[in-house]
Amino acid sequence: MTIDVTTNSANETVKFGQKFGLQLKGGEVIALYGNLGSGKTHLIKGIVAGLGAEDAANEVTSPTFVLVNEYSGRLEIYHLDAYRLDSIAQFEQIGFDDYCHPGSVVLIEWADKVESALAGTNYIKIELSHLSPTARRIRITNAPDYIRF
């Protein structure tokens, strides 16, 4: 299933992410694609909030330098950033396989850099793009049947 949404502000992107996060059941790997400033981290803030992490709006930051942020909600939440990785081996060394289990949600920013490592997973692909200085297009492909908007 494919879902297309337009948000007109960072706040709307966060709210959309929250609605998305509320519907997740665990075991999902979510690959995020988009240029710098396209709204990946805002969307993740919403998803993490929807998964029940307290103070997600202030806690969630892109893990560009630490590579992985962990959050606690109704599921374990792992937020990975592949931007600074130079190889698939580095991605695997940060424990990607260990994060993928039925009680977790794995969110990967800059997934295009590690896409070949995701080939064995049934991942949800989210592409974000600029429509204007404030508007974003969010396209979700391979969404599970239980995700509804």
For residues 110 and 82, the answer to whether their CB atoms sit within 8 Å is yes
Of the two residues 127 and 82, the one the predictor is more confident about is 127
Q: Burial level of 50, CB count in 10 A (0-12/13-18/19+)? A: buried
Residue 63 has pLDDT above 80, yes or no: no
Per-residue exposure over 55-71, b if at least 16 CB sit within 10 Å of its own CB, e if not: ebeeebeebeeebebeb
Q: What is the mean pLDDT of residues 27-34?
A: 97
For residues 123 and 24, the answer to whether their CB atoms sit within 8 Å is no
Give the per-residue pLDDT at 44: 95
Amino acid, single-letter form, for residue 94: I
Q: What is the Cα–Cα distance from 52 to 72, expressed in whole angstroms?
A: 8
For residues 139 and 2, the answer to whether their CB atoms sit within 8 Å is yes
pLDDT in tens, 134-144: 999 999 999 99
Tokens coding 107:
């969110």
Tokens coding 144:
């599970």
Q: What is the Cα–Cα distance from 120 to 68, expressed in whole angstroms?
A: 21
Give the per-residue pLDDT at 130: 94
Give the per-residue pLDDT at 93: 86
Residue 65 has pLDDT above 80, yes or no: no
Name the pLDDT band for 64 (thresholds 50, 70, 90): low
- Report the Cα 127 to chain-centroid distance in Å: 10
pLDDT in tens, 70-115: 998 999 999 999 988 888 888 888 888 899 999 999 999 999 999 9
Mean confidence (pLDDT) of the chain: 91
Domains detected in the chain: 25-130 (3.40.50.300)
Q: What is the mean pLDDT of residues 58-77?
A: 82
pLDDT in tens, 49-59: 999 997 666 67
Using CA of residue 57, residue 18, residue 51, residue 106, what is the dihedral sign? negative
Q: What is the Cα–Cα distance from 23 to 89, expressed in whole angstroms?
A: 32
